[in-house]
């Protein structure tokens, strides 16, 4: 058995029960959201010989418990 916050479905990250916040059934906790952001950063690095070594977010608020899509553009 593998532990994960998300499963991958095409280009979506679909939250598992492990990503669900203890405060609300329709939210993900900040650790899961932060993990999704770290995954996006790792995939955005354009060089094969370089990997981000540290990711230090500030306060990561909970996210809505629904599939996530990573965007590769510069929109805020």
The token pair at 33 is 């959201």
| pLDDT on residue 18 | 92
| Regions of the chain short of the pLDDT cut 70 | 1, 60-62, 70-76
Report helix, strand and coil shares of the chain as percent, to nearest 5.
25, 20, 55
Local structure of 35: helix, strand or coil: helix
14 contacts 64 by C-beta, under 8 angstroms: no
**pTM score, two decimals?**
0.72
38 contacts 6 by C-beta, under 8 angstroms: no
| pLDDT on residue 48 | 82
13 contacts 64 by C-beta, under 8 angstroms: no
Q: Return the domain boundaries, the chain.
A: 6-69
| pLDDT on residue 64 | 79
Percent of all residues in the chain with a pLDDT value above 70, rounded to a whole number: 84
């Amino acid at each position: 058995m593998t532990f994960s916050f998300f499963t991958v479905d095409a280009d979506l990250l679909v939250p598992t029960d492990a990503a669900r916040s203890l405060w609300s059934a329709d939210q993900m906790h900040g650790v899961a959201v932060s993990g999704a952001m770290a995954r996006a950063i790792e995939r955005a690095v354009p060089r094969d010989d370089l990997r981000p070594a540290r990711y230090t977010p500030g306060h990561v608020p909970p996210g809505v418990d629904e599939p996530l899509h990573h965007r590769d553009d510069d929109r805020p």
